[in-house]
Amino acid sequence: MEDILLSAVDRMQKEGAEFCDARYQTLGNATIRVVDRSVRALTQEKMGGVCFRARIAGSWGYSTTVLLDRRSLIEACLLATKNARLGGSKGAKLPELPSVNRRLRADVNIHPVDVPIEEKLRHVEDLDAALKVEDRVVNTNAIYNEEVRTNLLMNSFGSSVKWEEVRVRLMAYAIASEAGRQEAYYEFVDGTKGFELVKGTDIGAMGGSCGQEAVKMLSAKKPPSGYMTCISDPQITGFLAHEVMGHACEADEIVKKRSFLTGAVGRQVASELITMIDDGTVKDAYGSIPFDDEGTPSSRTVIIENGVYKGYLQSLETAAEMGVRPTGNGRAQDFGRRVWVRMTNTYFGPGDWTLEEMIEDVDSGILSDKGISGMEDPVGGGFEAKALRGFIIEKGKITDMVRSFTVTGSALQILKTTDAVGKSVSLDGGNCGKGIEDIVPVSSGGPHCRSKLVVGGG
């Protein structure tokens, strides 16, 4: 395959590509899903294909194929250069970068492909069984997923990079029901780790706790609505980092002036308590990558430091447009999808408050507990995130549990009014789309943060 990719790169250059690359990728997934003490899915997926990219005068031509014979591949690479000519974008020439020649295996202790299916199945069945803590738990679900991704990339800088990524995720969710009311609760662990992630998890405790919390939620009250003090937990804090501040600092949005953070470098955009980072090198985190899908090594980018905006996330192209170095954030869902600027592990840094101290100061407010989802708004800077549940705070004390609610507000307003930042930072993995597609693995997080938000739940 290396020979063919090299020939294709050469051919695309001869056809007029100012920059080009060829990437062969394989994806292997295994999924086990156990529902109500019965195996509902035992599946294996394999996918392999090649993506050719050619850039001419600011436009890209792509051609991807799963047909891997030499003739199909050469035809595909010619299509890439032809497609690039149909574009109308103007753009800076990509500066010649030093070539990268590396070979990397995933840094895992127990490679998941070496673990027998029976052993994986046993853990998932145990997790499902542990969820059934009592009769009010009417539905139990335990899901294991592993992904092994191999990449071989060659480009017109002369780079030749081959690397492997391994991700494992174990998830439990339980539905509790009483008097016609249903509530759901979930727990998960994940990372760029091997099967040691599962072996190191106390399956019984994870399942038991998840089942019990689902039952507790049956007595959760309707959440309040209005503008109020909210202490966001690390997941909701992470959604603010990722969805609003993170997507808006992806430099493709900056280059076309679609982001509310365009021209923000050097400006005070948040309280001095706030520092925000994107770091693709965090060991074991779900969004970590050794290289992005352009072959640039991943890196740590400080986005906000003590409230001052520092910089953006870059691909090869946006870095050329803005005259800076690429940060290793050019990512694609797979070989069949385009590369554009994406986050890796995005989080707010720690402060010096304990959660107890934050709660003590609140006369009336709400504490969120676990996230469901968030949505980006690079144009308007609006923040929206859904919490799985929360707790009412009255006169410095936690009182009632409330069910799912949404928090919203202007991201910059929230960050400027943040008056307490917690000591402890945690990251949670997930899958991020840009718009509604192009899904890549990421993580986000931060500490507990206290600010003013609009809260509402049905």
8 Å CB contact between 429 and 444: no
Q: In the complex with another protein, which residue's Cβ is closer, 117 or 324?
A: 117
Asked if 216 touches another protein (CB under 8 A), the answer is: no
Residues 6+ apart with CB under 8 A from 366: 223, 224, 228, 229, 230, 231, 390, 391, 392, 393, 402, 405, 455
Length in residues, the chain: 458
Tell me which of 2, 43, 102, 397 binds another protein, using CB under 8 A: 43
- 170: how many CB neighbours lie within 10 A of its CB? 24
Question: What residues from 100 to 119 belong to the interface with another protein (CB under 8 A)?
Answer: 117-118
Q: In the complex with another protein, which residue's Cβ is closer, 242 or 310?
A: 242
Stretch that binds another protein, among 10-18, 93-101, 233-241, 434-442 (CB under 8 A): 434-442
Question: What residues from 367 to 386 belong to the interface with another protein (CB under 8 A)?
Answer: 372-373, 375, 377, 379-380, 382-384, 386
Question: What residues from 149 to 188 belong to the interface with another protein (CB under 8 A)?
Answer: 175, 177, 181-184
- 454: how many CB neighbours lie within 10 A of its CB? 16
Gap between the Cα atoms of 366 and 364, Å rounded: 7
Stretch that binds another protein, among 4-12, 253-261, 268-276, 279-287 (CB under 8 A): 253-261
Gap between the Cα atoms of 239 and 294, Å rounded: 26
- 26: how many CB neighbours lie within 10 A of its CB? 16
Question: What residues from 254 to 313 belong to the interface with another protein (CB under 8 A)?
Answer: 256-258
- How far is C-alpha 138 from the chain's CA centre? 31
Sort 302 into a burial class: Cβ within 10 Å, 0-12 / 13-18 / 19+. Answer: middle
Which single residue is written with the structure tokens 């990372």?
191
8 Å CB contact between 363 and 397: no
Question: What residues from 127 to 146 belong to the interface with another protein (CB under 8 A)?
Answer: 138-139
Question: What residues from 388 to 407 belong to the interface with another protein (CB under 8 A)?
Answer: 403-406
Token pair for 288: 């970590």
Gap between the Cα atoms of 234 and 448, Å rounded: 5
Q: In the complex with another protein, which residue's Cβ is closer, 163 or 405?
A: 405
Q: How far is the CB of 326 from another protein (least distance, A)?
A: 18
- 263: how many CB neighbours lie within 10 A of its CB? 11
Stretch that binds another protein, among 13-21, 57-65, 265-273, 415-423 (CB under 8 A): 57-65
Question: What residues from 61 to 90 belong to the interface with another protein (CB under 8 A)?
Answer: 61-69, 72, 76, 79, 82-84, 86-90
Number of residues that bind another protein (CB under 8 A): 84
Q: How far is the CB of 283 from another protein (least distance, A)?
A: 29
